Structure 1
Amino acid sequence: MNQDTTKESHKHRGIYLLPNLLTTAGLFSGFYAVVASMNERFEAAAVAIFIAMIMDGLDGRVARMTNTQSAFGAEYDSMADMVSFGIAPALVAYNWGLVDLGKIGWLSAFIFVAGAALRLARFNTQVGIADKRFFQGLASPAAAAIIAGMVWVGDNYEINGSDVSFIVAIITVAAGLLMVSNFRYHSFKDVDWKGKVSFVAILVVVLIFVVVATNPALVLFAIFLLYAISGPVVTLRSVRELKMEHVVGDGNDADFESSDQSDEKEKEVKANPSSTVEETAENDEEKK
């Protein structure tokens, strides 16, 4: 009997290859962005961060499609996100436009790194409890896209980062603080991606690809910058009176949903603990 149990446990050991391979590709892209920025290849560094975003979006979806979700994959994804969307963007921004600011420069970069770490930790603790329709705080891939887009635009237009160092510092710090804010951002999880759409919708998608292709650096930077601004706007429209807990503080302070709804969600999680693991696998690509 014990031998059968041992054989069964050995049989199920190991990790799933495909989703973790995609996570590794995203991790590699983030690391490459750091190395490229050290060699002053800032366009390649920015593109690498965007590639990491694509890999991060694919690994969780592939895991669900192939039924290869695992706790290891979720944790590995968080570690990769910290490198690709926390450390890499901060160092790319530092090497491009913050190095001449001295202490202010590296402290600005550190604020972004700390914001990404806190954002990921908070997301992991709220899986299965938070409202799926919204992110609490700016997602780390979106914050990284703002930094990467800024550097990419500057490199394309031959802007010397040292000439706009204070602007770079302000954007970097702002992106870091937005990640730990309580501002609500649409997660687009309520969109039915599997449903049918009209022919016009497909034409709109094609048009979006064409617009992005005309000037990817500027368009992507503008899109993610507008998305970052949308958080405060959505929050201001959803509350009657703006309070400090709507801007920053413990997630339990924000009254975006009633306490009854929160209690119901907590009861559901306690009644069905396995759902938390499923939620983690479903949302591992959004740990930002």
Structure 2
Amino acid sequence: MKHDDLETDPKRDRDLPLVKLLPNLLTLTAACAGLTGVRFALLGEFQWSVRMVLIATILDGLDGRLARLLRSQSPLGAELDSLADFLNFGVAPALILYLWTLNDVGGIGWMASLCFTLCCLLRLARFNVGQKNGNGSSDYFEGVPSPAGALLVMMPMVAAFAFPGLPEIPAWLSTIYVLAIGLLMISRIHTFSFKNVKIPRRNARYVLLGAVLAAALLFNFTWATLLLVMIAYLATILVALRVKPGGGQKDL
């Protein structure tokens, strides 16, 4: 063993402020939410399953921003975030949907679940490569981002919760829908990236008011509001295709 190996690295021994652990704590909490969603599905509590994935999506949107705010980005945090994303947006929704309806078509439904999970895995791998190549900033993404894909793939469930009086969605139709969302995730079509959206300073108060009202609607009319948000996001994909046809950002 070299003498240098016995020396203490002052940077590694420097005390770490507890607050800088918050982003990783949010990431781990999101992973717990995703796994809990699967547990609720096993118990037949599918509404709580969707809620858990929604919570995981919100936490995923917060942890990175909090890390940048606290200047606590680290390779460990990046790896944790990627692994948690695969669990929350690739594994959990596929299992929840399979337990909800896809198991009615047997092996075909399981294959659809597997395809969605693999599409999410490929999506996240493309994201990691894009980050390493410095393609992390753009007004557009290539395909549907994995968090949006996880919510969109559960739209049949949300529609069933919002309108319980409607006829039950056939399992074969849900199977086709799951495959379609998976393909959208790995496609080259443009989708809007809202990371770089800017608003006039004078309109900030209205945006804040709108956000509060949207949160209130989501709390009081969860399924109808979530369904409207999903439909609106699908509409933005059509708009993006008209505005900027072709391939987009190669990072997510």
With the length of structure 1 as denominator, give the TM-score of the two structures.
0.75
Deviation per CA, 1:126-158: give whole Å up to 9, x if none.
122265211111011111112334323324544
* Residue 125 (structure 2) aligns with: 121
Shift of the alpha carbon at 1:121?
0.5
**Which residue is 2:60 aligned to?**
56
Conservation of the 8 A alpha-carbon contact between 1:100 and 1:162: no
Report the Cα distance in structure 1 between the residues aligned to 2:14 and 2:80, rounded to whole angstroms.
19
Contact 1:23 1:77 in 2 (8 A): yes
Alignment partner of 1:8 is 2:10: yes
On the 8 A contact 2:90/2:150 being kept in 1, the answer is: yes
> Over the residues paired in the alignment, what is the CA RMSD in angstroms?
3.1
* Pairing 1:106-117 to 2, within 5 Å after superposition: 106-117=110-121
Residue 105 (structure 2) pairs with residue 98 (structure 1) = no
The residue aligned with 2:243 is 237
SS in 2 for 1:221: helix
Structure 1, unpaired ranges of 5+:
240-245, 247-253, 263-286
Deviations 1:85-133 (A, max 9, x none): 0000011111001001011101111111011001101111112226521
Q: Counterpart in 1 of 2:21?
A: 17
- Cα distance in 2 for residues equivalent to 1:161 and 1:49: 25
Deviation of the 1:196 alpha carbon = 4.9
Distance 1:67 1:194, change over 3 A: farther
Q: Which moved more, 1:155-164 or 1:214-223?
A: 155-164
- Equivalent pair of 2:160/2:168 in contact (CA under 8 Å): no
Query: Does the C-alpha gap of structure 1 residues 9 and 136 become closer, same or farther in structure 2, counting only changes over 3 Å?
Result: same
1:168 aligns with 2:177: no
Q: Which moved more, 1:10-19 or 1:176-185?
A: 10-19
Return the alpha-carbon distance in structure 2 between the equivalents of residues 237 and 193 of structure 1: 20
With over 3 angstroms needed to count, the CA separation of the structure-2 counterparts of 1:171 and 1:64, relative to structure 1, is same
In the superposition, relative to structure 1, how do residues 189 and 215 fare at CA in structure 2: closer, same or farther (>3 Å)?
same
| Alpha-carbon distance in structure 2 between the residues aligned to 1:177 and 1:19 | 31
Q: In the aligned structure 2, how far is the partner of 1:43 from the partner of 1:86? A: 18
Pair 1:31-2:42 in alignment: no
Which digits, 9 at most, give the CA deviation of each residue in 1:235-270, with x for residues without a partner?
A: 24324xxxxxx4xxxxxxx4x59xxxx9xxxxxxxx
CA shift for structure 1 position 25: 0.4
2:214 to 205, 208, 217: 208
Say if 2:69 is the partner of 1:75. no
CA shift in 2, pair 1:38/1:9, >3 Å: same
Gap runs ≥5 in structure 2? none
Q: TM-score, normalised by structure 2?
A: 0.84
2:229 paired residue number: 223
Give the C-alpha shift of residue 183 in structure 1.
1.1
Matched, 1:179 2:180: no
Within the candidate set 142, 152, 174, 1:136 is matched to 142
Higher relative contact order (CA 8 A, sep 6+): 1
Q: Relative to structure 1, is the Cα distance of residues 31 and 160 closer, same or farther in structure 2, using a 3 angstrom cutoff?
A: farther
**Compared CA separation, residues 107 and 232, structure 1 to 2 (3 A):** farther
Q: Percent sequence identity over matched residues?
A: 31
Q: How many residues align?
A: 246
Task: Give the Cα separation in 2 of the matches to 1:62 and 1:200.
Answer: 24
Distance 2:68 2:210 in 1: 28
Rounded to whole Å, the distance in 2 between the matches of 1:42 and 1:27 is 18
Tell me if structure 2 keeps the 8 A contact 1:184–1:232. no
Partner AA of 1:79 in structure 2:
L
Maintained 8 Å contact 1:150/1:221: no
Q: 1:120 to 1:198 in 2, by over 3 A?
A: closer
User: 1:129 is paired with a residue of what secondary structure?
Assistant: coil
> Which residue of structure 2 aligns with residue 87 of structure 1?
91
Structure 1 residue 198: deviation in Å? Answer: 5.1
Query: How far is the alpha carbon of 1:222 from its aligned partner?
Result: 3.0
